[in-house]
Structure 1
Amino acid sequence: MLLSILWDIDPEIFNLPINWWIFGTISVRWYGLLFALGFLLGYYIVEKMFKKEGIKLEWLDKLFLYTMIATVVGARLGHVFFYGWEFYSQHPGEILKVWHGGLASHGAAIGIIIALWFYSKNVSKKSILWILDFVVIPVALAGCFIRLGNLMNSEIIGTQTGSSWGFQFVRASIFEPNSPRHPAQLYESICYLISFGVLMFMYWKTDAKKRSGMIFGAFLVMIFTARFFIEFIKENQEAFEEGMALNMGQWLSIPFVLLGAYLLIKNLKKKIV
């Protein structure tokens, strides 16, 4: 019987022997490749939806730019303020060094919402919920790819398990890396992929797109409910989380779930004429 899965994947695909100033040697990593793939597929999905709705395609490039910048900046600042302020407040220069790692999905969510508010004011001139209903569908898919990138990096590790599908993350910087652990990244990736499928079904096969904010609400409930429960079998990301009944990821997920539930309930009560 298989007792565990040895996970010894090199996060680097290949290295370019070039030294670029402060960036150092350039390497192509699985995480970056999967991150980029998520955005490219997202662009294609939204393009199909825009064409179906007869929306100006020139809005799409601006949407892609707003979302991409907001994701990276929001995720980085989320990590800085939610998980690492004690360190970054003393080393502010490290905040810009995204290539050293440290991104938080809750920060990305907040960043995207803020960016799309500006997009709604400056580009579409429509309600922010209108564009959020489009964007969250590919964002769920991108989340799936990003968590696969975390898996390739042997980061965001699960707690120890005796299950036969436990992973030995031998490259991870954790206590007892040879002990089988929950592949929490894979669990999240699967949940996000399922969420993407549900959201696609809602858009293409139901009247959800006529109910402003309903797809966005479903996204929030599915994604952050999954995140909340999977956190129970994750190793804490930072030392300050030790001893907490709920960790930072769970506390940050609760408002998103509540907002999503509110939008769903509000839309289910609404009659479409």
Structure 2
Amino acid sequence: MNYIHWNPPTDIINLGFFAIRWYGMLWGIGLIGATYIVARLFKEYKIADSKFASLFVYVFFGVLLGARLGHCLFYEPTYFFGSLKHFVEMFLPIRFLSDGGWRYTGYAGLASHGGVIGLLIALYLYCRQMKMEYLFVLDSIGFAAPFTEMAIRLGNLMNSEIIGKTTDVPWAFVFTHVDPLPRHPAQLYEAIFYAIVFCLGVLLYKKSKEKTVIGSGFFFGYCLTLIFNVSSTNSEQCKLCVNGP
């Protein structure tokens, strides 16, 4: 009875025809925060504002399309390829109803790994179009990525997904949407870890004697090593601990 019983509403605002969900809002916060961080880097390296504006467009659509398609293809391919209406739902924030109508749902299903794939493709196209050095852009995004990942994992927490193994620690969460068992809040652990990684990255950047560290590939490697490796491993373990014995 001393455990944290976690059962938050998925919607912040729900007007019936329109809803704002915690998950979508936190995704938005992650993207807006990353946009601000990269904008500061571009200004520091005296890169034209027009090039940053184009980068925002490429990143926004690359991440959104990649995350949406990643969820549909990796997690619910049978549903979304089961009929023409379901296929349309991949691209529109609605669900068709059995009575012939529809309701607004927002994009209920975004996969962070799909977002990464979409991001890398979008960055490649951006660099070709704007004649930018690919490694510089990857480093800039890698520098900001931990902040975005932190926000996404908080969104997973609000959705009661990517939960941890059963435990009896005092801070265990009971994710009532999933089962009555006390579990590690793995999403919260990851969010805290990513916040630390981001703060450490800022310190490393400020301590560096040569600001040319952006473009050397350091922050892209830093991001791959500490973010996506940990994220992939933990997500797989969490799937096993929910679906396994």
Q: Which residue of 2 aligns with 1:161?
A: 167
Alignment of 1:4-19 (within 5 A): 4-17=3-16
1:222 is aligned to 2:226: yes
Q: Which residue of 1 aligns with 2:193?
A: 191
Distance 1:105 1:111 in 2: 10
What TM-score results when the alignment is normalised by the length of structure 1?
A: 0.75
1:147 is aligned to 2:153: yes
5+ residue gaps in structure 1? Answer: 18-24, 244-273
Over the aligned positions, Cα root-mean-square deviation in angstroms equals 2.4
Kept in 2, the 8 Å contact 1:83–1:238? The answer is no
1:130 is aligned to 2:122: no
Deviation of 1:224 (Å): 2.0
Deviation of 1:97 (Å): 4.5
Distance 2:28 2:233 in 1: 27
Alignment of 1:252-267 (within 5 A): none
Distance 1:185 1:212 in 2: 31
Deviation of 1:152 (Å): 1.3
Deviation of 1:117 (Å): 0.3
Distance 2:78 2:21 in 1: 28
Distance 2:56 2:29 in 1: 13
Higher-RCO chain (CA-CA 8 Å, sequence separation at least 6) = 2
Kept in 1, the 8 Å contact 2:38–2:140? The answer is yes
Which residue identity does 1:38 align to in structure 2?
Answer: G
Deviation of 1:4 (Å): 1.4
TM-aligned CA distance change 1:61 to 1:238, over 3 Å? farther
Q: Which residue of 1 aligns with 2:88?
A: 93
Distance 2:242 2:134 in 1: 34
Which residue identity does 1:46 align to in structure 2?
Answer: V
What TM-score results when the alignment is normalised by the length of structure 2?
A: 0.83
Kept in 1, the 8 Å contact 2:23–2:156? The answer is yes
Distance 1:210 1:44 in 2: 16
1:115 is aligned to 2:122: yes
Which residue identity does 1:115 align to in structure 2?
Answer: A
Distance 1:238 1:213 in 2: 37
Which residue identity does 2:121 align to in structure 1?
Answer: I
Kept in 2, the 8 Å contact 1:11–1:31? The answer is yes
SS across alignment from 1:13: strand
5+ residue gaps in structure 2? Answer: 94-105
Which residue identity does 2:56 align to in structure 1?
Answer: F
Which residue identity does 1:120 align to in structure 2?
Answer: C
